[in-house]
Structure 1
Amino acid sequence: MGFLPEFGNLFFTLAAFVVALSIIVTVHEYGHYIVGRWSGIHAEVFSLGFGPVLFSRVDRRGTKWQVAALPFGGYVKFLGDANAASSAADDAVMSDLDAQQRRHTMHGAPLWARAATIFAGPAFNFIFSIIVFAGFMMVQGVPDDAPRVGAIHAMPGTMDLIEGDLITRVNGQPVADLADYYRLADGLEPSPSVTYTVERAGQTMDVTGPHPIPARAMGIALQSAARDAGMETGDVVLSVNGEPVYAFRQLPPLVDAANGEAVALRLWRDGSELEVSLTPRRTDLPLPDGGFETRWLIGLQSGTFFDHPVRGVSITEAVPAAVNEIGNIVSRSISGLYHMVTGAISTCNLSGPVGIATTSAAMASDGVASFIWFIAVLSTAVGLLNLFPIPILDGGHLVFHAYEALVGKPPSDRVMGALMTTGLVLLGALMLFALGNDLLC
C-alpha cells in the first residue's frame, strides 16, 4: 500500500493547483465580462474550464455561466465571436444582425469598448492582488517603528529579555528605532550572547540575550534544500560542518565554502538537538539594482528572535503599499526574464505548470494565509504575462487595437489569422520550454 501516500500527495498538489488557477482565471475572465457588459458588449458564454460542460445556467441577460470538465483555464465568448479567443468574427452570425445588434458584439463595438474589455482581464488580476495585499496589511498590521520586544521565540542559551522590553542599546551602541536596530544587528560580530539595555516598567537595565539576528529559520523557502531535508520554521542552526554558529550572517559564507557539496547542520529544535545533511542549490538572487547574484543557498529565511508589536494600518496606507508590492513583483519578473534571455542567469528560473502546481501545494500546506498570498502573487504574474504583446494574448489584441487606432482599420483577416497562428506557436513553445524546466532542471 506504499502508493497511497504518493497518490494522496499528488491529489493534494492537483487540488491546490486547480483551486489557485480557478480563482485567478475567474478573476481574469470576470474582468473581461463585466467591463464588456458595461461597454455594451453582450457575453454569450462565461466558462470556467474547457471541454464537456458539467454545470450551466443562463442568467436574465442571456449569458450562459458554465463549469467545464478541464479546469485549466476559462474564457468569455461574446456575441458574434467565432471562437473563445475573440480573434475572429462569426460571419454567419454577424450577417444576421442589424446595426443596433452589431453594436453589442465584440467586432461591432467601438474601438474604445473593445480595448477596455480586453485590458480589463489583466487589470482585474492586478486589482485582485492589490485587494489581497492591502487586506493582509490591514488585518495583520505592520511592525511598529519602536524596537520593542513582542512574543519571544524559544531559543537555546540565556534569555533575560521579556515581552514588552524597549531596547535602547545593543552591546552599548544606541538604538533609535526598528530600522536602526536592524542596521546595528547587521554589523554586530557573532557571539554566544549579547548585552541589551532595555526600559522595563520605568527602569533601565542591562539584560542578556542571543545575537539580534540569530541563525534561526524564520521561514523555509519553497523547493529548497532545507525544506527537502525536513527543516522546520523555528529551527536554530548551532553549527555548520562543525563550525559554531551564533548569527545568521555566518551561514552564507559557510554554505558558499562547501561549493555545492553536502553540508552537515546541527540544529536545536524545541529543546532537543539533531543533525541534518543537505546539499546547497545554486540560485539566482535579484539585487536591488535590478541585476542578479548567483549563490549557493539552503533556503533559510532570517529574522530576529522575537515578534515585533504591530500597529494598525488604514486603507489609505495599505493600498499604496499593496500597489508598491505589485510594482516590485512586476519589476523582478521583467528583470528575471531579461537576464534569462541575455544568458546572465539560468533559464531554470522559469517554472512551468508542474513547478507552479508544486508551489501551490507547498503554500497550501503552510496554511490558508500563505496560500491566499501565493494566489495574489500568481495573479500578478498572470496579469503581466497577458499584457505581453504576443498574438492570442490580451497584449497582442491591444497591439491590434493600437494599429487600428493609428491606421483607421484593423489588420486584414489573412494577417490576423497568420499572427494568431504565430502567437499560438510561440505560446505553445514557451509552455513546452517551461514544462521541460520542471522536468529537467
Structure 2
Amino acid sequence: MDILGMLPSFGGFFGSVLAFIVALSVIVAIHEYGHYIVGRWCGIHAEVFSLGFGPVLYSRVDKRGTRWQVAALPFGGYVKFLGDSDAASGKDGEAISSLSDAERKRTMHGADLWRRAATVAAGPVFNFILSIFVFAGIFLFSGTTTDDAVIGKLKPLPGPVDMFEPGDRLLKVGDAEIASLEDFYTAARDAEPSPTVTYEVERDGQVTSFDSVFPFPPVIDQLQPKSAAMDGGLEVGDVIQSVNGTPVYALSEVQAAAAEGQDNPMELLVWRNGEVLEKTLTPRQRDLPTADGFESRWLIGFSGGAFFEPPRITLGAGDAFWGGIQQTWFIAQSSLSGMWHMVTGAISSCNIQGPIGIAQTSGDMASQGVAEFIWFIAVLSTAVGLLNLFPIPVLDGGHLVFYAYEAVVGRPPSDKALNAMMMTGLFLLLSLMVFALSNDFFCS
C-alpha cells in the first residue's frame, strides 16, 4: 500500500502536517545520531537521545546508560551529553565540578578540543551524507538517459502521437537534422509552435516521415510545490489545450502567456485522460536561479518536456555516488547564493519559508509520490545541515566558532561571555523564525 499516496485523503492541512512530521523526524534523527555516534566514538557519554521535545511518550535505557526517548512534540530533537545543563549543550558547572578527572573527559566540556569539534560537526555532516546517499540511491534506481535520439516511452497525449513507436530513431524535426538527443532538444526549442511538426524517423532499418505533435507539448511532467498549478488542481500528465480561449501547442506558449499576463487569472482548457476540464489559475512571481544569479518570472508552476521519454541505462555505483555529491553541492551552493541575493535585496525575502510553508511543500511533494517525497527529504536535509553550520551561537556552527577561538587563544571563552553570546544567538534564531513564519502568512 502506498501510504504517501493516501495523504490527499486526509485533506490539505492534515496531509501536509503528517508529511512534514515524517520528513523532519527523519532529518532530525540522522542529524542527532551524527552527534551521538561520533561523540561515542570520541569517548563522550550521551545521557539522553531525544526525538522530539516535551512530555516523553516512550523511553528506554541501553547498556551504555543512554536514554533513548520519543517526546510528544515532533519538531526537533537533541542529544544531551554528560555535563550538559540543557538540550543546547549549556555547561552544568555544578555537575561537572563533582566529577573525577576521568569522568570530565567523558563530557562535552572536558573532552579534548578535537573530540568536541568532531562531535559537533558530525550533525550537519550526517545531514549531507543522508542527502548524498538518497540522491545516489535515486540515480542508481532510475538510471540516466543516453544521448541517442531514440523513442523510449510515449506520453499519453491527445494529438497524433501514436504515429511513433518505441525504438524509433529520430532523424529530422522539421528541417533540422538530428544526430543526438541534444540536437532534438535544440530543434524543439528553435521550432515555431504549431499543431503538428514533420518528423523523419528510422524504424527497423527503414526511413519514414509523418506529421505529429509539437516536440515540447504543454504536458505536465512535474508540479512545483506551493504553486498555482498545484493549488489549482492540475495533475501530472495533464495537457493544456488552450489559454484564455487561444489554442496552445507548445510548452513555451503557456510560459509566455503567464509572463505576459503576470498576476491576471488564466482560463485553461486541460485534457486529462480523454476528458477536457476547465481550470482558472493566477500566475505567481518566483525568483529562479540562473547561471548569473537569479531572475524573477511569472509562473503557474509546472515543468514539462518532450512528448516521449528517452531510453534509460543503469548507472554504476560510483557514478551514482558522484551524482549524489554533485546534487548535494548544487543545492548547498544555490541556497547560499539565494541567501546572499536576499540580503543584498536582489530577490525577495519571501523566498524564506517558515514551518507552515515547509509543511505545505512537504504535503505537495508527498502527494506526487514516494520518489518525489524522498527527494524532498534529501533537499531539506541539505538545507538543515547548511543552516546548522551558520556561525550563530546555539547552532552547531556557533559552537565550532567557539572551538576555533579556543584553538587560537588557548582557552575557551568565559562562561559569562558564552552565556551572553548564547542568549544573543537564541534571540537571532527566534527572530529569524518569526520572520519566516510571517512570510508564510503574508507572502503568496
1:231, distance to aligned residue in structure 2 (A): 1.3
DSSP 3-state at the match of 1:180: helix
Partner of 2:80: 77
1:387, distance to aligned residue in structure 2 (A): 0.4
The answer to whether structure 1 residue 414 and structure 2 residue 416 are counterparts is yes
The answer to whether structure 1 residue 13 and structure 2 residue 16 are counterparts is yes
The amino acid that maps onto 2:365 is: M
The amino acid that maps onto 2:263 is: G
- Superposed, which structure 2 residues align to 1:3-42 within 5 Å? 8-42=11-45
Structure 1 residues 19-28 or 265-274, which shifts more? 265-274
Q: Is the 8 A contact 2:130 2:378 kept in 1?
A: yes
- Superposed, which structure 2 residues align to 1:25-424 within 5 Å? 25-88=28-91, 90-159=92-161, 160-289=163-292, 291-424=293-426
Higher relative contact order by CA 8 Å / sep ≥ 6: 1 or 2? 2
How far apart, CA to CA, are the structure 2 residues paired with 1:8 and 1:163?
39
DSSP 3-state at the match of 1:85: coil
Per-residue CA deviations over 1:254-310 (Å, capped at 9, x if unaligned) read 222213111112222222323222111111111122x21111111121211111211
- Superposed, which structure 2 residues align to 1:415-434 within 5 Å? 415-434=417-436
How far apart, CA to CA, are the structure 2 residues paired with 1:231 and 1:16?
20
Structure 2 unaligned residues grouped into runs of 5+ = 1-7
Structure 1 residues 298-307 or 407-416, which shifts more? 298-307
How far apart, CA to CA, are the structure 2 residues paired with 1:232 and 1:10?
19
Per-residue CA deviations over 1:113-134 (Å, capped at 9, x if unaligned) read 0000000000000000101000
1:181, distance to aligned residue in structure 2 (A): 1.5
1:7, distance to aligned residue in structure 2 (A): 7.3
DSSP 3-state at the match of 1:332: helix
1:71, distance to aligned residue in structure 2 (A): 1.0
Per-residue CA deviations over 1:294-351 (Å, capped at 9, x if unaligned) read 1111112121111121100111101111111111111111111111111111111110
Per-residue CA deviations over 1:62-95 (Å, capped at 9, x if unaligned) read 111111111111100111111111132x222212
Structure 1 residues 35-44 or 338-347, which shifts more? 338-347
Partner of 2:4: none
1:34, distance to aligned residue in structure 2 (A): 0.4
Given the two structures, how large is their TM-score scaled by the length of structure 1?
0.96
1:46, distance to aligned residue in structure 2 (A): 0.5
DSSP 3-state at the match of 1:72: strand
1:8, distance to aligned residue in structure 2 (A): 4.5
Going from structure 1 to structure 2, the CA distance change for 1:245 and 1:6 (only over 3 Å counts) comes to closer
How far apart, CA to CA, are the structure 2 residues paired with 1:417 and 1:233?
52
The amino acid that maps onto 2:361 is: T
The amino acid that maps onto 1:229 is: G
The amino acid that maps onto 1:134 is: A
Runs of at least 4 residues of structure 1 off by over 6 A?
none
How far apart, CA to CA, are the structure 2 residues paired with 1:274 and 1:91?
68
How far apart, CA to CA, are the structure 1 residues paired with 2:10 and 2:230?
20
DSSP 3-state at the match of 1:108: coil
Q: Is the 8 A contact 2:262 2:284 kept in 1?
A: no
The amino acid that maps onto 2:358 is: I
Partner of 1:440: 442
1:6, distance to aligned residue in structure 2 (A): 10
How far apart, CA to CA, are the structure 2 residues paired with 1:337 and 1:22?
25
Identity %: 56
Aligned residues: 435
Q: Is the 8 A contact 2:230 2:364 kept in 1?
A: no
Structure 1 residues 408-417 or 272-281, which shifts more? 272-281
How far apart, CA to CA, are the structure 1 residues paired with 2:222 and 2:12?
22
Structure 1 unaligned residues grouped into runs of 5+ = none
How far apart, CA to CA, are the structure 2 residues paired with 1:189 and 1:243?
16
Q: Is the 8 A contact 2:264 2:283 kept in 1?
A: yes
How far apart, CA to CA, are the structure 1 residues paired with 2:55 and 2:414?
33
1:188, distance to aligned residue in structure 2 (A): 1.2
Q: Is the 8 A contact 1:215 1:246 kept in 2?
A: yes
